[in-house]
Amino acid sequence: MENRRMVVPMDEAPQEADLPPSLRGLKRLVTALTLTMIVGFVVLIAALVIRLNADPLPLPDRIALPEGVSAVAFTQGADWFAVVTSDDRILIYDRATSQLRQEISVE
């Protein structure tokens, strides 16, 4: 027996209308999945770019604390952030200017 391959010219290839209904549906599902994955990947890359280009948060390492104290805790609000220091004080700073707004001693 001779193994022969049947070569079909492109203009004679089966069209979508020639496919059985189940394969047409499968073809549409695969196309929809491909488009969904491409859109999802683009959204993921855009989210990473936006996140990495955002201004850094004012963490205790970036805050000029008074001499001889270190940060024990850090919290933040809408327009302020606060640092609890090792000498039992709460220093509240303005988020926009990083200037000290208020100092509270914890007794």
Q: pLDDT digit string (tens) for 62-79?
A: 677 888 888 888 888 888
Residues 30 and 65 in one domain: no
Question: According to the model, what pLDDT value does residue 58 have?
Answer: 60
Please, which pLDDT band fits residue 57 given cuts at 50, 70 and 90? Answer: low
DSSP letters, 9-64, are -GGGSPPGGGS-HHHHHHHHHHHHHHHHHHHHHHHHHHHHHHHHHSPPP--GGGS-
Q: Dihedral (C-alpha) 60, 62, 67, 68: value to the nearest 10 degrees? A: 40
Cα 57 → chain centroid:
16
Number of domains composing the chain: 2
**Domain residues for 81?**
60-105
Residues 31 and 46 in one domain: yes
Residue 31 lies in a domain: yes
